[in-house]
């Protein structure tokens, strides 16, 4: 489990290095790869809490699945796996929203504090509203989703209706 988390983190570190290396500087593609790579250490240092949070989620979800698999039947594990896959997809939407908004917030943070606070509050409200809306919608349509994906695991709808509420703190967590 820990190796999986480390591999996931390494994959994103490499992706971030590629992103920085291909980034724009002064309107022209950046040609000095050494300068781009030298930014990785500060980026990792500044992002250490987000990295730790991501590793925690990965490890927790794997431990959770292992525990369900040990304590309950294979059918229960299948229901749980289906529900967590759907909820995980919803969580990924929130992470994508946060990544898309990060440059806007970073620019605002470098500028006037009052403007940054306004944008940050608006973003938190957007994330809260989106997460509650998606959780409510998923709770309502869970049986239909399960029927469409895997009708043989109809019990997954009940599990999904519980797990989907974890999306709210996930969205608020990635927003901060």
pLDDT tens string 116-155? 899 999 999 999 999 999 999 999 999 999 999 888 888 8
Q: In this prediction, what percent of the chain has a pLDDT beyond 70?
A: 69
Any idea of the CA torsion for 25, 31, 37, 38, to the nearest 10 degrees? -70
Neighbours of 10 (CB within 10 A): 10
Picking from 87, 60, 113, the residue whose alpha carbon sits closest to that of residue 171 is: 87
Q: Six-digit token pair at 94? A: 């929130």
* 3-state secondary structure (DSSP) of residue 112: coil
Per-residue pLDDT reduced to its tens digit, 38-97: 666 776 777 677 667 666 766 766 777 778 778 888 888 888 888 888 888 888 888 888
Per-residue pLDDT reduced to its tens digit, 11-51: 666 666 665 555 545 445 445 555 556 666 776 777 677 66
- What's the average model confidence in pLDDT over 157-165? 91
């Amino acid at each position: 489990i820990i190796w999986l988390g480390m591999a996931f983190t390494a994959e994103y570190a490499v992706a971030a290095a590629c992103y920085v290396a291909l980034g724009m500087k002064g309107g022209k593609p950046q040609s000095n790869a050494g300068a781009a790579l030298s930014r990785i250490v500060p980026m990792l240092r500044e992002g250490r809490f987000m990295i730790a949070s991501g590793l925690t989620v990965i490890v927790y979800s794997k431990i959770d699945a292992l525990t369900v698999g040990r304590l309950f039947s294979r059918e229960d594990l299948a229901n749980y796996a289906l529900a967590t896959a759907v909820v995980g997809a919803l969580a990924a939407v929130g992470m994508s929203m946060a990544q898309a908004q990060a440059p806007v917030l970073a620019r605002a943070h470098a500028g006037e504090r009052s403007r940054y606070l306004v944008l940050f509050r608006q973003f938190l409200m957007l994330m809260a509203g989106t997460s509650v809306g998606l959780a409510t919608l998923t709770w309502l349509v869970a049986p239909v989703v399960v029927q469409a994906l895997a009708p043989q695991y109809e019990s997954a709808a009940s599990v999904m209706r519980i797990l989907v509420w974890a999306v709210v703190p996930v969205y608020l967590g990635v927003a901060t």
